[in-house]
Amino acid sequence: MSINLSIVQKYDLEAYTLEQAQQEDVQQLLDVCAQNIGAVNEDQITKAFKLCYLSHNGVTRASGEPYYYHPVEVAKIVAQEINIDDISVIAALLHDTVEDTDIGLDQIRQWFGNEVAIIIDGVTKITGVFKTRDSKQAETFMKLLLSMAEDIRVILIKFADRLHNMRTIQHLRREKQIQIASETMDLYAPLAHRFGLFTIKNELEDLCFKTIDPTSFKFVARKLREKKESREAYIDELMMPVGRQLAEQNLSFEIKGRPKHIYSIYRKMQRQQKPFEEIYDLFAIRIILEEPHTKEDCWRVYSIITDWYTPIPERFRDFISVPKANGYQSLHTTVITNRGKKIEVQIRTRKMDNIAERGLAAHWKYKEGEQSGSDTLDRFVSWVREVLDNPRPDSSTDFVKDFQLNLYQEEIYVFTPKGELRTLPFNATPIDFAFEIHSEVGERAMAAKVNDKMVPLRHKLRNGDQVEIITGSKINLNPDWMDDVVTHKAKSRIRQFIKQKQRKVADIGREIWEKRCAKAKLDITDQELTRVARKFKYESTQGLFFDLGSGSIELATVFKEAKKFKSTGKIDTEEDQIQDAQNISTEQVHQKYFDAARSYGQGNALILNGDISHVKYTYANCCSPIPGDEVLGFISRNGDVKIHRSMCNNAQHLLKNEGDRIIDVKWAKSIDSKFLGAIRVIGEDRVGMINDITDVLSKSLSTNMKSINVSSDEGMFEGIITLYVDGIAHLDKIMKRLERLQGVKNVLRYE
């Protein structure tokens, strides 16, 4: 190990004395550690604080605050909200030093030991894992996975780092906010879910939602605040008789109402197309049994609750006997109250609650004293190793898609013929099950039996199924299975198989091509041939060679074009011009729109006012944004801008795959244009209802309709109305006015 003596001399940590303000900062951190972790090495934490302060001295964040505030806040999150150990706190304080300062891992190892150095190395970003230019996000996640296999504290510190960045995201440019929030929503929040860190997952989702669509966030938050007092009173009334009976049986417990987090409520409103008032499970009642109560006591509590209130059988879930893959344990039941309302009740022990809230972190804390905690940690690490052991995709896009597959899905539980339990994602097939057992079983799968009956390999498995895979002596992989499997392991192996087949065919195509060129003495490079390939709409020569090998394109046709290109030196086609547009750097494209935006006096934001000659933009038909909506701009490959609503599904897809082409857009204060909006009206199918609706729109509100589509069933009707509006305020006015009509039950903006 080589030590840079100049660095050691520059940062003389033993001799350096902190100023009064920094002494207060470090004492505050030590107090948080004492309250949440217990015994810690205060000298080492203070030493790490000194290095953090000195190495980042003079550097500021986008907010203008000294940069060292960030690692200190991350360390506080690690101590207070994740609370593992002092090693993690030290690593959190120093997590940016190796990447952003002149301090290397050798110095960290010398001052703080190998354990801290390994964790910091894991948190530090690296390059070179993927060959593609757009692979930075995937590189970071692959690094995290590699490091987690050594020490799971790496991911816990990374979560704390991302959480603090999201809490302070308002200081960044709008397009940068959207990029970071989208990455967080797509990868960090699902990963937190996969590791059972539900408290962090929920806050990350809410912060992302607040960033991407602040208007909708504020609406749901306000509705929750308005209902808080009545909700708490209702819980007290509901649980009073239950609590009395629990106390009579000498059970030590806590009862609390847990409101669903804001983003989950919004998603439910969108999915069910219902207003806030009609979402019945806005909160759940949680009954937590204190130690030393056990899972048997949880069943006693369930019995008492169902004595008082009628349970809904299909809404019962026993996650105690069969925990989720992330270790989550609890009894869930939904009951009908005396008022006829549905309420979800969760029953668990204090240890189960700690694991439910803090997942991986709680298991890490429990691992030393109990074998069960260690077993669960082993399952987490096994999952990480499985991701790493599978064939790595060639592109970062494929990697991120594969990585997301098993993070956020509902789970089913199935059994092997010997009765062993296996957890699979919802919609898994026998093919997924076969790969879950072993790669060779998946590769040689010929047929399947589910509950002793033969079923197709594409059959969707259900909870409780017993599955048997019948294998052959040879590999039986089918490329068509790609659309039928949902697990990372199965998709990775099938994709590898497809690429192997394609590579063999492409090799044949290349050989055919080279023989033809040699015969005609045509000397053309791969770079030149790439331009010829684009003439035929191929992204690369590999696709061209594949079609030559499979006979999908005539050799003579390609050769003629290549010979022509070699003699003239150019291919003047529409495809070539489009490719030139694609080759414009992101920085150049952004600069064009920043210049246009600045000409309107709005910093880097493109102003939408219906008529800007400098910039060509259109509104996306998929979400029909109107003034007042939170919107994003995406630079298309031909240089135009497409405007989407922030929470539009297509916008979310673009953020995942082409986040570098986002630009900030804002509505002008006044726009003299009409925009298409849509509403969904549900009500009683009475005579004259449609006439009343059209009268309100045309006479009372002077609003023009484009179309109305109405269907009725069992005395109820549903209408989708498309109309021209000035903006979101106009649309809200229309919805509120229609809600006052006799027989109208629901008016919602139509997604």
Spatial separation of the C-alpha atoms in residues 320 and 349, rounded to whole Å? 10
Q: Is 318 a catalytic residue?
A: no
Query: Active site residue: 24, 31, 65, 99, which one?
Result: 99
Residue 698 per-residue DSSP state: I
Query: By C-alpha distance, which of 688, 679, 681 is closest to 740?
Result: 681
Nearest Cα to Cα of residue 444 among 455, 431, 427: 431
Which is it for the CA torsion 668, 673, 675, 681, positive or negative?
positive
Catalytically annotated residue among 42, 100, 281, 290: 100
Q: What is the distance between the alpha carbons of residues 78 and 75, in angstroms, rounded to a whole number?
A: 5
CA dihedral 601→606→608→613, nearest 10 degrees, is: 90
For residue 87, the SS3 value is helix
Answer for the pair 471, 439: CB distance below 8 angstroms, yes or no.
no
Do residues 690 and 710 touch, judged by C-beta distance below 8 A?
yes
Tokens of 308: 């008082």
And the tokens for 279? 């979402």
Task: List the beta bridge partners of residue 633.
Answer: 643, 663
What are the structure tokens assigned to 141, written together? 């996640």
CA–CA separation, 358 and 88 (whole Å):
15
Q: Are the beta carbons of 53 and 18 closer than 8 angstroms? A: yes
The β-bridge partners of 284 are 258, 344
- State yes or no: cis peptide before 292, omega within 30 of 0: yes
431's enclosing H/E stretch is helix 430-437
Tell me the CB-side half-sphere exposure of residue 195, using CA atoms within 13 A: 31
Q: Count of alpha carbons within 13 Å of 346, Cβ hemisphere only?
A: 21
99 assigned to active site: yes
**Torsion region of 158: left, alpha or beta (phi above 0 gives left; psi -120 to 50 gives alpha):** alpha
- CA-wise closest residue to 736 among 745, 747, 744, 720: 747
Nearest to 159 by CA among 203, 212, 121, 117: 203
In Å, what is the CA distance from 675 to each residue of 273, 365, 669?
A: 22, 56, 15
Residues assigned a catalytic role: 99-100
